Amino acid sequence: MSDLLSVCDIKNDVENILEIAKKFKEGKIEGKPLEGKALAMIFQKSSTRTRVSFDVGMYQLGGRPIFLSSSDLQMGRGEPISDTAKVLSRFVDGIMIRAIEHDDVVELAEYSDVPVISGLTNLEHPCQALADMLTIKEHLGEFKGKKLCFVGDGNNVCNSLLLITAILGMDMSVACPEGYEPNEEILKKAEKLANENNAKITITSDIKEAVSNSDTIYTDVWVSMGDEAEEAKRQKDLSPYQVNKELMSYANPDAIFMHCLPAIRGEEVTSEVIDGPQSVIYDEAENRLHAQKAVLYHFLG
């Protein structure tokens, strides 16, 4: 049995999972491969794309998704995570959790007898990264020789993108102000993977340097759930890193724009860019469904 808590957990399976996702999208995998199976979906954080894509994905595969908010579980009233993991393992075939703390997901997986899939933590967002790579493959055709530039806060999405691009041999740069760099431990892992796969990673506060020769420009909200107390400071620090028409002009002419959503137009990205011809955000959002189905098929099939 294995879990998906980090992109590193699937470093030998990324390309296979992406190929399965592509086949699901093309309708080449038929039947109900997860018929009779159940997935517990624990949400400590609100969600649109993660909840709907896992729910619909499990349904389309013939299985039963069970939505559980914190208020639905005794875990929300102080039951140990270990007890919750052991009990759910007797009922379901897999657990997907969208959590606040990464350590909680690690603990859940430690005591679970069924696969645990991270739907997001404060450290990583591996399922988003898979959907992003599926989108990039569709629009750019390949990973090697291409460059992704992440602009803004080096957050959980950025962390997972660093790992997955390194695994696939794609260059990645991060343009961020001092104090907003990606997680140090994640960065070390990503740099090791990049060296193994002839990819290059650059972390810089110089936006022009980061964006130059990029094939993909990616950003996320400046104030994530849980960062609301720092909203004013974050907006001030990150305002020079807004993705706008001028910034896009530094990238390759046919570069695509990506955002994991939700987006705040006028803050991290202008309407001109996110609603413009280079934006692929809705393909990216749709691909959450196909990537999620591939993950469920891989871990529960």
The reply to whether 70 sits in an annotated binding site is no
Active site includes 298? no
Residue 98 corresponds to which tokens in the numbers above? 């969208």
pLDDT band of 271, cuts 50, 70, 90: very high
Domain boundaries, the chain: 7-125+288-300, 128-284
Amino acid (1-letter code) at residue 208: K
Q: How confident is the model at residue 265 (pLDDT cuts 50, 70, 90)?
A: very high
- The confidence score (pLDDT) of residue 175 equals 98
Q: Is 224 annotated as a binding residue?
A: yes
User: Which of these is catalytic: 3, 55, 128, 242?
Assistant: 128
234 is in an annotated binding site: no
Query: CB within 8 A of 90, min separation 6: which ones?
Result: none
- Of the listed ranges 24-33, 203-212, 223-232, the one predicted with least confidence: 223-232
Tell which residue, 224, 218, 132, has the closest CA to residue 173. 218
**Spatial separation of the C-alpha atoms in residues 301 and 182, rounded to whole Å:** 34
User: pLDDT band at 226, cuts 50/70/90?
Assistant: confident
Q: Is 225 known as a binding-site position?
A: yes
> Is-catalytic flag, 242?
no
pTM, whole model, 2 decimals?
0.97
Contact between residue 159 and residue 122 where contact means Cβ atoms under 8 Å apart: no
pLDDT at 73: 85
Q: Of 264, 224, 275, which is closest to residue 242 (Cα–Cα)? A: 264
* 156 annotated as ligand-binding: yes
Q: Considering only residues 75 and 282, tell me which one the structure prediction assigns the higher pLDDT.
A: 282
CATH architecture for the domain at 7-125+288-300: 3-Layer(aba) Sandwich (3.40)
Given 149, 158, 176, 260, the catalytic residue: 260
Q: Is 260 annotated as a binding residue?
A: yes
Mean pLDDT lowest among 68-72, 187-191, 234-238, 269-273: 68-72
Catalytic one of 125, 259, 290, 298: 125
Mean pLDDT of 140-161: 98
pLDDT, average across residues 203-223: 97
Distance CA(64)–CA(57), nearest Å, equals 10
Share above pLDDT 90 across residues of the chain, in percent, rounded to a whole number: 93
Domains 7-125+288-300 and 128-284 share a fold: yes
> Which residue type does 165 have?
T
Written in H, E and C, the secondary structure of the chain is CCCECCHHHHCCCHHHHHHHHHHHHCCCCCCCCCCCCEEEEEECCCCCHHHHHHHHHHHHCCCEEEEEEHHHCHHHHCCCHHHHHHHHHHHCCEEEEECCCHHHHHHHHHHCCCCEEEEECCCCCHHHHHHHHHHHHHHHCCCCCCEEEEECCCCHHHHHHHHHHHHHCCEEEEECCCCCCCCHHHHHHHHHHHHHCCCCEEEECCHHHHHCCCCEEEECCCCCCCCHHHHHHHHHHHHHHCECHHHHHCCCCCCEEEECCCCCECCCECHHHHCCCCECHHHHHHHHHHHHHHHHHHHHC
| Cβ count within 10 A of residue 49 | 21
Give the lowest-confidence range in 62-76, 97-111, 204-218, 283-297: 62-76
User: Which of the residue ranges 37-51, 75-89, 207-221, 263-277 would you say has the lowest mean pLDDT?
Assistant: 75-89
Q: Cα Rg for the chain, rounded, in angstroms?
A: 19
Q: Is 261 annotated as a binding residue?
A: yes
pLDDT band at 76 (very low <50, low <70, confident <90, very high): low
In the set 51, 98, 259, 298, the catalytic residue is 98
Catalytic residue among 3, 153, 215, 220: 220
Domain 128-284 -> CATH class: alpha beta
Residue 279 is encoded by which pair of tokens?
């934006």
Among the listed residues 261, 265, 215, the one whose alpha carbon sits nearest the alpha carbon of residue 243: 265
How much is the pLDDT for 141? 98
Residue 128 is among the residues annotated as catalytic for this protein: yes
Q: Stretch 206-223: mean pLDDT, rounded?
A: 97
pLDDT digits (tens, 9 = 90+) for 10-20: 999 999 999 99
Token digits of residue 269: 């990205």
Taking only the tens place, the pLDDT of each residue in 84-128 is: 999 999 999 999 999 999 999 999 999 999 999 999 999 999 999
Q: Is 102 a catalytic residue?
A: no
How many residues would you count in the chain?
Answer: 301
Which one, of 262, 301, 10, lies nearest residue 127 by Cα?
10
Q: In the chain, what percentage of residues exceed pLDDT 70?
A: 99
- Residue range 176-181: average pLDDT? 97
